[in-house]
Amino acid sequence: MTAHATENDQVIPPMPERTPRALRAAIAEHTPELLPDFDGHWKRAIADAYNLGPGQAFVARWWIEYAIARDPELDAHLHDLELRAAESTDIAEARALLEEAAKIRHRALRTEPGE
């Protein structure tokens, strides 16, 4: 896995393996501000789980969060879209902004390890 640079020469760390342990290590190293929420969510949703369903949903959710948070420009853009949608009084504009935000999240979910 190698990091890649954005148009502004900002280095974006690669995605880890798609496991809770690797994802947690990447979050701890590159986006530590997410770690308390990650650990809290793990304790609530997974610690007492006796089937794999919650684990898969947990990894998918945090995969998206990390894929976006590791790129500060993308993270800021997504939050701007969501804020503008929340403040919009035009339903069509708000819907378009939220659809763009959803597309970013869907692309993040499809990011592969090492990208």
Angle CA 5–30–70, to nearest 5: 50
Does residue 96 form part of some domain?
A: yes
Q: What is the DSSP string of 19-77?
A: SHHHHHHHHHHH-GGGHHHHHHHHHHHTTT--SSHHHHHHHHHHHHHHHHHTSHHHHHH
Does residue 3 form part of some domain?
A: no
Parent domain of 83: 16-109
What pLDDT shows up at residue 7?
65
Whether pTM exceeds 0.95: no
What pLDDT shows up at residue 17?
96
Does residue 10 form part of some domain?
A: no
Q: Are the C-beta atoms of 82 and 75 separated by less than 8 Å?
A: no
Does residue 1 form part of some domain?
A: no
What pLDDT shows up at residue 2?
52
What pLDDT shows up at residue 1?
46
Count of domains observed in the chain: 1
Angle CA 43–28–75, to nearest 5: 100
What pLDDT shows up at residue 4?
57
Does residue 6 form part of some domain?
A: no
Does residue 11 form part of some domain?
A: no
Displacement of CA 56 from its chain's centroid (Å): 15
Average pLDDT of adjacent 10-residue blocks, the chain of 115 residues? 62 95 97 96 82 85 97 97 98 98 97 95
What pLDDT shows up at residue 51?
73
3 state DSSP class of 81:
helix
Does residue 79 form part of some domain?
A: yes
Q: Is the dihedral of CA 64, 76, 87, 98 positive or negative?
A: negative
Does residue 4 form part of some domain?
A: no
